[in-house]
Amino acid sequence: MNVCTLLLDQWISPVVTGDRPPPISSFTLTPVTNNTAVMFGGATDNGNSNKLYMITFTRTSVDILEVPNPAGSVQWPKGRWGHSSVPITTSSGPHLLVVGGYFVDDIWLLDINKRKWKELVSIIL
């Protein structure tokens, strides 16, 4: 992993700790605060991913935490790639809105503080 520091116009290789994701493409990386972001979904050699990572950045390091999927009766989106995501701040705190992707047609909302998903709608095309 490399990070570009725009103020210094240079690339650095930060120390990476935590739960490194596998090689992956077509995921979303959405900023939540000045130093945190949420990574979701993507395409891997093993198929579509529905893994969720909370990433914390400092000037010299990156810490990655995989949020486990509890399975069972808990709502959790299907694996996807090529989707869109956007941060939303509500009175109850920060959320992540995830829309569509290949090959799904649904919309999900993640409560970032509680780390709980809720399906908002399934779009039938």
H or E segment at 44?
strand 43-44
**pLDDT given for residue 70 in this prediction:** 86
Question: Cα separation of 88 and 3, whole Å?
Answer: 25
Over the chain (125 residues), the average pLDDT of each successive run of 10 is 85 94 96 95 97 94 94 87 96 95 93 94 66
pLDDT value of residue 125: 58
Say what the pLDDT of residue 11 is.
92
Residue 123: predicted pLDDT: 65
0.85 exceeded by pTM: yes
Position 62 in a domain: yes
The domain total for the chain is: 1
So what's the pLDDT on residue 4?
84
Of 29, 54, 63, 34, nearest to 114 by C-alpha is 54
| Residue 109 covered by a domain | yes
Asked if residue 77 lies in contact with residue 118, where contact means CB atoms within 8 angstroms, the answer is no
Which residues span the domain enclosing 52? 6-122
71 found inside a domain: yes
Name the helix (H) or strand (E) containing 89: strand 84-90
Is residue 1 domain-resident? no
